[in-house]
């Protein structure tokens, strides 16, 4: 089937497209990437697949229902994988409305387009059509130190505008399956890390600040715990859910790597001490600086991903140690990509446009 991937120029979306075209199934006839190119969308993330005849890029918005519908018909799309989202918690605290527009209204409109397209398909294609919505563990809220991990049955309790907007989008996807019969799937993942991560996120921020001699900011006491998932493992999980997941179901995807933020920062510093030592011989951990905590900062996330393991046979291949080492090596090698990405994104914002 031909795929429409939305938000494919972002971090996880671009890794997924690369997985499909370079690492994954050779049976994919065509991948159409629809991306609005807001601050974190970067076409350079997919420079290595631009010449692939199976790949095409469309600059557009999932909120434009008629345009999405036309793309679905033009390319005879058999499945949609929806990554398109505003996803930075700090930005959602500063300005919640763009998150509601993209994550809630945008999801509603692409669901409308998907339903109209699916309703008109002939029987065999209609039966095989899928709408896969990529979401986050943040919809479940926060956990205490000894509470059991989030399962697919955990009630939603979002604590940030970002998480609330994603929770709303998850509910819309569920409702379109139960009300209209649209064959939807949802994945809720833990924190991803790996190549092409936008430079303002924790891992690349720490790596790049360390190398540039800047402070390494850590919120509060740094004991916020996250379950870290290497992005290539996440992409494999998405492929399996798309191929074999049961319509109407949700699948949690976790890395099985719970670690406090402060410990993550220290591990990155130790890897940099080995790979690119400071000229003065001091450890990079000397640059750690504790800053005021984020409002409403969730204390702990943990994912129970036994359902996807049991039903689809998925498990993460990377340990946190191997995945982190690969990530640090990639960002050390790709500093020019990071500098260009940051300069272009913030230049657009200063000009008042995200086009």
Active-site residue numbers? 137-138, 162
Which tens digits make up the pLDDT trace of 297-314?
Answer: 999 999 999 999 999 999
pLDDT level of residue 137 (50, 70, 90 thresholds): very high
Q: How far apart are CA 138 and CA 6, in angstroms?
A: 21
Q: Which residue ranges form the domains of the chain, and what is each CATH number?
A: 2-193+230-256+302-319 (3.40.50.720)
- Rounded to an integer, what distance in angstroms lies between the CA atom of residue 78 and that of residue 233? 24
pLDDT of residue 302: 96
262 pLDDT higher than 90: yes
Mean pLDDT of 186-202: 94
What pLDDT band is residue 339 in, cutting at 50, 70 and 90? confident
| Per-residue pLDDT tens over the stretch 67-87 | 999 999 999 999 999 999 987
pTM above 0.85, yes or no: yes
Stretch 251-274: mean pLDDT: 97
Distance, in Å, from the CA atom of 103 to the CA atom of 259, rounded to the nearest integer, reads: 28
Look at residue 222 and tell me whether its pLDDT is greater than 60.
yes
Contacts of 107 (CB under 8 A, 6+ apart): 62, 82, 133, 168, 169, 172, 173
What are the CA-CA distances from residue 338 to residues 14, 195, 198, 205 (Å)? 15, 11, 8, 10
Percent of the chain with pLDDT over 70: 96
Model confidence band, residue 91 (pLDDT cutoffs 50, 70, 90): confident
Q: Is residue 250 classed as helix, strand or coil in its secondary structure? A: strand
């Amino acid at each position: 089937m031909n795929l429409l991937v939305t938000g494919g120029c972002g971090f996880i979306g671009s890794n997924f497209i690369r997985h499909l075209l370079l690492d994954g199934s050779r049976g994919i006839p065509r991948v159409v990437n629809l991306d609005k190119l807001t601050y974190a969308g970067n076409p350079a993330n997919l420079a290595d697949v631009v010449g692939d005849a199976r790949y095409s890029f469309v600059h557009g918005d999932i909120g434009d229902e008629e345009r999405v519908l036309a793309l679905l018909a033009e390319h005879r799309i058999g499945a949609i994988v929806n990554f398109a989202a505003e996803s930075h918690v700090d930005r959602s605290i500063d300005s919640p409305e763009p998150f509601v527009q993209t994550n809630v209204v945008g999801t509603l409109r692409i669901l409308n387009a998907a339903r109209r397209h699916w309703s008109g398909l002939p029987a065999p294609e209609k039966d095989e059509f899928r709408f896969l919505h990529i979401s986050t563990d943040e919809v479940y809220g926060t956990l205490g130190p000894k509470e059991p991990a989030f399962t697919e049955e955990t009630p939603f309790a979002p604590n940030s505008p970002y998480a609330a907007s994603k929770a709303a989008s998850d509910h819309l996807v569920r409702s379109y399956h139960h009300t209209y019969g649209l064959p939807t799937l949802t994945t809720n993942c833990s924190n991803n890390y790996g190549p092409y991560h936008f430079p303002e996120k924790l891992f690349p921020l720490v790596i790049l600040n360390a190398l540039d001699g800047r402070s390494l900011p850590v919120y509060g006491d740094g004991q916020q715990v996250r379950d870290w998932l290497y992005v290539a493992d996440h992409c494999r999980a998405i492929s399996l859910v798309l191929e074999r997941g049961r319509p109407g179901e949700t699948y949690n995807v976790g890395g099985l790597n719970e670690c406090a933020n402060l410990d993550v920062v220290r591990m990155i510093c130790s890897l940099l001490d080995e790979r690119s030592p400071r000229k003065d011989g001091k450890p990079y951990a000397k640059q750690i600086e504790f800053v005021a905590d984020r409002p409403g900062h969730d204390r702990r996330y943990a994912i129970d991903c036994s359902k996807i393991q049991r039903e689809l046979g998925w498990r993460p291949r990377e340990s946190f140690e191997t995945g982190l080492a690969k990530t640090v090596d990639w960002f050390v090698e790709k500093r020019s990509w990071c500098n260009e990405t940051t300069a272009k994104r913030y230049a657009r914002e200063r000009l008042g446009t995200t086009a």
